[in-house]
């Protein structure tokens, strides 16, 4: 088909009457065909058709036809022409004038509004909308060269484009934004600028000029320099306007530096990034404060509610039209967007900066265990996509941890092997290399959003299981019975054995995280808690066992090498031989055991808790929740029947002795001294202690009263003290 791009005669949009062939000269069908008006024929056919009858060919499928985009439906037709046919037409109509106003005060006010609205657009974009409908709904951004005559606006637009480009780059590189995929689409948008240095130097020049203007207006009137042209015409407002502009420009400068520093390889720029983060935060505070000044001088009242406004002044900004770009946002249906308010946008950036600061505070500890605890803590503040992407790119660079440590070294260290093992030959074996890849995948997964993370973690369990089997098989075959003896001096056997122990521990950690994330995502209904706690019990027991094995064998290895043990207090007594990390798990085991028994007893003794739904049997629910764990045999020999067996005996008469909650409480208290330097674990211990304490009391009440008058009680399980371990709340029925 020939496409003729020369201007053609444009037909007037016809109002229902048959139009003469307007495009036949511009869209010839092909050399030997013409366009023939089919309207009368179609009309006649429509009259003759029976109700509900369709004219269609053999390839027609009604179900598939339902997915057709309906033209002129605003939810589906992204090309619907609202007002302007194109950006250029809008510009010609005066939508984004340059300069904005010939009155300099108005010009400055409008520039501030544009800056504020762009901040709101940017935050909206980060939250998961398309770039084209948010930030690039600004005409000034769409035609970069137009803003040159207005230096402040021009430099601001430039830095915005550069910042957006940097963020698109980070998120794209992390490649884990599956569910937020509108984020990186930037087709047809002018993201490629002249380069970062130019943006920054322009910004610096403008900033310097503003500083001079600010100084000039603050100086005594007699000493006021005559040759310094003020920013705008209203002398009394000059200081306020200068400051308002300065803090906005400075915020952009520091924020851009944050992004640049954090991208430096191997975390080399983290310290400098923290300084820029601090500066950005203080500039944001200034921006917020400037609102009072801007609202007070805003001419023309605020058309929108003060809370919904997207600018500090409350005025609508000039030069924005989201519909102009709707065709570029995606061929798929455009989403309707509610732009974040200005206040919410500032809050978003403050949170983003806090999350980035948390990342920058990390010491790049070579221990995988420390790293995973750090990431878990990071995730508990529900960071957004941009922060998470930065963390992921920091952790895994070019197949190495922090771009620095090869995966095999990470594994051997995690397995407690001596430092020299990292050069061992077995790293070249295929299954060991695959294990390294699995660890990389795990690191990437734990940096993603909770829902995606849980799904992927669950699915990865089978891979871990397979690798374990492969590794075991590979080295058993090679060395026959060597693996069976633990005292052999053969380096390979020892190394493999320790790696295998660590591998199991890691798999159980993943299973544990998988189950816990289910609470955060509210995937379990209250009637299902007790089977989850039961499964958690099984997993935690195994996790503690494997962790203990790994630590024990590490000690033995260290002892053999004659190195001093790090914690000499472990010498005293058998009890303290169990490492604190394992006892930490034991505390949770007691807690979970108590919860399982309590809920089992309630179900067994009080029919009220049996919420039998007509949809699924209990066994089906069990299989649905734990399918991925069952498939990977983590733990082994755990079935629905073993679950039923172990919980069927629970009664009010037998669950309170021994009191699992009291045991948990006692352990939590004792462990405080072991983790005195670890704020995160201390906080967790406090939470566990509270859950244990309250549940202990509740259990006693329930067991005493329940034995006598079971129906006088109403028990519910609520997450008062801990996001995953529920507290029993007892009320009189």
Residues 353-372: x where in contact with another protein by CB under 8 A, - otherwise, as a string: --------------------
Burial code of 522-533, b = ≥16 C-beta within 10 A, e = fewer?
eebeebbbbbbb
CB of 207 to another protein, least distance (A): 38
Residues 281-320: x where in contact with another protein by CB under 8 A, - otherwise, as a string: ----------------------------------------
- Contact window for another protein (CB under 8 A) among 37-45, 127-135, 244-252, 522-530: 37-45
Q: Which is nearer to another protein, 18 or 732 (CB)?
A: 18
* # of chain residues touching another protein (CB under 8 A): 68
Q: Which of 86, 367, 569, 712 binds another protein (CB under 8 A)?
A: 86
Strand, coil or helix: 383 = coil
Widest CA span in the chain = 100
Q: Which is nearer to another protein, 92 or 680 (CB)?
A: 92
Nearest Cα neighbor of 471 from 515, 431, 430 is 431
CB of 472 to another protein, least distance (A): 51
Structure tokens at 516: 């816990």
495-534 binders of another protein (CB under 8 A): none
Residues 317-356: x where in contact with another protein by CB under 8 A, - otherwise, as a string: ----------x---x-------------------------
Q: Which of 68, 299, 301, 307 binds another protein (CB under 8 A)?
A: 68
- Asked if 377 contacts 684 with a C-beta cutoff of 8 angstroms, the reply is no
- Asked if 401 contacts 410 with a C-beta cutoff of 8 angstroms, the reply is yes
Q: Which is nearer to another protein, 54 or 572 (CB)?
A: 54
Nearest Cα neighbor of 554 from 410, 91, 563 is 563
Q: Is 397 left (phi over 0), alpha (psi -120 to 50) or beta?
A: beta
Q: How far apart are the first and last CA of the chain?
A: 78
Contacts of residue 235, Cβ cutoff 8 Å, sequence gap at least 6: 217
Nearest Cα neighbor of 695 from 599, 620, 609 is 599
Integer Cα distance of 384 and 373 in angstroms = 19
Q: Which is nearer to another protein, 15 or 572 (CB)?
A: 15
CB of 647 to another protein, least distance (A): 54
- Contact window for another protein (CB under 8 A) among 75-83, 343-351, 475-483, 669-677: 75-83
- Contact window for another protein (CB under 8 A) among 11-19, 361-369, 648-656, 702-710: 11-19
CB of 41 to another protein, least distance (A): 6
Regarding 220 and contact with another protein (CB under 8 A), the answer is no
Regarding 708 and contact with another protein (CB under 8 A), the answer is no
Q: Which is nearer to another protein, 89 or 645 (CB)?
A: 89
Strand, coil or helix: 730 = strand
Integer Cα distance of 599 and 99 in angstroms = 70
CB of 139 to another protein, least distance (A): 15
Query: Is the bond leading into 635 cis (omega within 30 degrees of zero)?
Result: yes
Integer Cα distance of 617 and 452 in angstroms = 27
CB of 72 to another protein, least distance (A): 4
CB of 47 to another protein, least distance (A): 8
- Contact window for another protein (CB under 8 A) among 68-76, 404-412, 497-505, 653-661: 68-76
Integer Cα distance of 600 and 617 in angstroms = 17
CB of 35 to another protein, least distance (A): 4
Helical ranges in 561-659 per DSSP H? 580-605, 618-631, 640-648, 652-655
Q: Which is nearer to another protein, 70 or 567 (CB)?
A: 70
Sheet holding 405-406, edge to edge: 396-397, 400-401, 405-406
Regarding 50 and contact with another protein (CB under 8 A), the answer is yes
CB of 182 to another protein, least distance (A): 18
How does DSSP classify residue 175? T
Integer Cα distance of 241 and 250 in angstroms = 14
Regarding 41 and contact with another protein (CB under 8 A), the answer is yes
- Contact window for another protein (CB under 8 A) among 74-82, 400-408, 633-641, 694-702: 74-82
Q: Which is nearer to another protein, 34 or 572 (CB)?
A: 34
Regarding 52 and contact with another protein (CB under 8 A), the answer is yes
Integer Cα distance of 597 and 603 in angstroms = 10
Integer Cα distance of 356 and 164 in angstroms = 17
Helical ranges in 263-341 per DSSP H? 270-297, 326-329
Nearest Cα neighbor of 283 from 331, 326, 244 is 244
Q: Which is nearer to another protein, 86 or 450 (CB)?
A: 86
Q: Which of 25, 69, 175, 649 binds another protein (CB under 8 A)?
A: 69
Q: Is 82 left (phi over 0), alpha (psi -120 to 50) or beta?
A: alpha
Regarding 7 and contact with another protein (CB under 8 A), the answer is yes
Q: Which is nearer to another protein, 1 or 708 (CB)?
A: 1
Contacts of residue 253, Cβ cutoff 8 Å, sequence gap at least 6: 159, 200, 203, 204, 207
**CB neighbourhood size of 491 (10 A):** 13
Regarding 40 and contact with another protein (CB under 8 A), the answer is yes
Integer Cα distance of 255 and 163 in angstroms = 8
CB of 2 to another protein, least distance (A): 13
Regarding 72 and contact with another protein (CB under 8 A), the answer is yes
Q: Which of 2, 25, 54, 142 binds another protein (CB under 8 A)?
A: 54
Regarding 75 and contact with another protein (CB under 8 A), the answer is no
Q: Which of 2, 13, 489, 657 binds another protein (CB under 8 A)?
A: 13
- Contact window for another protein (CB under 8 A) among 8-16, 142-150, 557-565, 608-616: 8-16
Write out the H or E segment, with its range, that includes residue 716: strand 713-718
Regarding 39 and contact with another protein (CB under 8 A), the answer is yes
- Contact window for another protein (CB under 8 A) among 12-20, 407-415, 424-432, 618-626: 12-20
CB of 95 to another protein, least distance (A): 14
Integer Cα distance of 603 and 479 in angstroms = 52
What burial class does residue 60 get, using C-beta atoms within 10 Å of its C-beta: 0-12 exposed, 13-18 middle, 19+ buried? Answer: exposed
- Contact window for another protein (CB under 8 A) among 29-37, 114-122, 145-153, 423-431: 29-37
Integer Cα distance of 133 and 120 in angstroms = 12
Q: Which of 25, 35, 469, 567 binds another protein (CB under 8 A)?
A: 35
Q: Which of 34, 94, 303, 561 binds another protein (CB under 8 A)?
A: 34
Regarding 32 and contact with another protein (CB under 8 A), the answer is yes
Q: Which of 67, 637, 657, 677 binds another protein (CB under 8 A)?
A: 67
Q: Which is nearer to another protein, 267 or 334 (CB)?
A: 334
CB of 326 to another protein, least distance (A): 11
Q: Which is nearer to another protein, 69 or 521 (CB)?
A: 69
**CB neighbourhood size of 407 (10 A):** 22
Contacts of residue 298, Cβ cutoff 8 Å, sequence gap at least 6: 109, 313, 314, 315
Q: Which of 2, 25, 57, 210 binds another protein (CB under 8 A)?
A: 57
What burial class does residue 463 get, using C-beta atoms within 10 Å of its C-beta: 0-12 exposed, 13-18 middle, 19+ buried? Answer: middle
Regarding 649 and contact with another protein (CB under 8 A), the answer is no
Query: Is the bond leading into 658 cis (omega within 30 degrees of zero)?
Result: yes
Q: Which residues bind another protein (CB under 8 A)?
A: 3, 5-11, 13-19, 21-24, 26-27, 29-30, 32-57, 60, 64-65, 67-72, 79-81, 84-86, 88-89, 327, 331
């Amino acid at each position: 088909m020939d496409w003729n791009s020369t201007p053609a005669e444009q037909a007037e949009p016809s109002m229902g009457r048959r139009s003469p062939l307007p495009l036949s000269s511009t869209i010839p069908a092909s050399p030997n065909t013409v366009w023939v008006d089919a309207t009368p024929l179609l009309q006649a056919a429509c009259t003759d058709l029976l109700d509900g009858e369709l004219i269609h060919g053999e390839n027609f499928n009604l179900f598939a036809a339902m997915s057709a985009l309906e033209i002129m439906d605003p939810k589906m037709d992204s090309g619907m022409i609202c007002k302007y046919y194109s950006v250029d037409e809008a510009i010609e109509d005066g939508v984004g004038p340059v300069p904005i106003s010939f009155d300099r005060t108005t010009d400055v006010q409008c520039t501030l509004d544009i800056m504020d609205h762009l901040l709101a657009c940017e935050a909206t974009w980060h939250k998961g909308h398309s770039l084209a409908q948010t930030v690039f709904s600004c005409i000034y951004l769409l035609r970069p060269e137009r803003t040159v005559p207005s230096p402040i606006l021009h430099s601001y637009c430039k830095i915005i484009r550069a910042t957006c480009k940097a963020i698109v780059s980070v998120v794209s590189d992390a490649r884990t934004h599956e569910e937020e995929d509108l984020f990186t689409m930037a087709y047809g948008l002018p993201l490629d600028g002249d380069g970062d240095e130019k943006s920054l130097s322009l910004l610096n020049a403008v900033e310097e000029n503003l500083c001079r203007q600010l100084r000039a207006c603050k100086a005594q009137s007699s000493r006021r320099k005559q040759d310094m042209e003020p920013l705008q015409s209203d002398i009394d407002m000059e200081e306020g306007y200068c400051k308002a502009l300065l803090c906005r420009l400075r915020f952009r400068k520091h924020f851009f530096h944050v992004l640049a520093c954090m991208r430096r390889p191997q975390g080399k720029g983290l310290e400098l990034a923290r300084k820029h983060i601090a500066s950005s935060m203080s500039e944001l505070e200034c921006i917020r404060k400037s609102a009072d000044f801007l609202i007070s001088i805003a001419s023309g009242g605020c058309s929108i509610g003060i809370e919904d406004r997207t600018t500090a002044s409350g005025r609508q900004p000039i030069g924005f039209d989201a519909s102009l770009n709707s065709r570029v946002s995606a061929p798929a249906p455009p989403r309707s967007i509610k732009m974040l308010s200005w206040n919410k946008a500032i809050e978003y950036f403050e949170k983003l900066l806090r999350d980035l600061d948390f990342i920058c505070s990390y010491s790049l500890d070579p221990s995988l265990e420390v790293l995973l605890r750090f990431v878990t803590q990071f995730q508990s503040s529900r960071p957004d996509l941009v922060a998470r992407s930065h963390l992921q790119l920091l952790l895994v660079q070019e197949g190495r941890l922090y771009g620095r440590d090869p995966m095999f070294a990470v594994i051997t260290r995690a397995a407690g092997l001596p430092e020299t093992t990292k050069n061992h030959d077995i790293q070249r074996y295929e299954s060991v290399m695959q294990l390294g890849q699995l660890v990389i995948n795990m690191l990437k997964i734990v940096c993603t959003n909770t829902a995606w993370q849980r799904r992927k973690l669950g699915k990865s369990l089978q891979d871990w299981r397979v690798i374990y089997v492969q590794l075991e098989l590979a080295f058993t075959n090679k060395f026959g019975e060597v693996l069976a003896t633990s005292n052999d001096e053969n380096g390979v056997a020892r190394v493999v054995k320790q790696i295998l122990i660590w591998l199991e521990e890691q798999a159980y950690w993943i299973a544990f995280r998988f189950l816990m994330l289910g609470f955060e995502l509210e995937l379990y209904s209250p009637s299902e808690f007790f089977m989850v706690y039961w499964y958690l019990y099984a997993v935690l027991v195994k996790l503690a066992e494997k962790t203990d094995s790994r630590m024990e064998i590490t000690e033995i290895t260290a002892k053999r090498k004659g190195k001093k043990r790090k914690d000499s207090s472990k010498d005293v007594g058998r009890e303290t031989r169990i490492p604190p990390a394992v006892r930490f798990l034991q505390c949770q085991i007691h807690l979970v055991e108590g919860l399982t028994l309590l809920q089992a007893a309630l179900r067994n003794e009080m029919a009220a808790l049996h919420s039998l739904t007509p949809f699924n049997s209990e066994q089906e629910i069990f299989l649905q929740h734990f399918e991925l764990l069952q498939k990977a045999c983590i733990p082994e020999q755990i079935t629905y029947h073993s679950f039923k067996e172990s919980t069927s005996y629970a009664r009010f008469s037998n669950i309170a002795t021994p009191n699992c909650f009291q045991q948990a409480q006692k352990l939590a208290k004792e462990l405080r001294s072991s983790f005195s330097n670890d704020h995160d674990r201390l906080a967790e211990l406090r939470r566990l202690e509270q859950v244990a304490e309250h549940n202990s009391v509740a259990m006693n009440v329930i067991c005493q009263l329940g034995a006598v008058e079971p129906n006088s009680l109403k028990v519910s399980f609520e997450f008062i003290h801990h996001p995953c371990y529920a507290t029993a709340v007892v009320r009189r029925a």
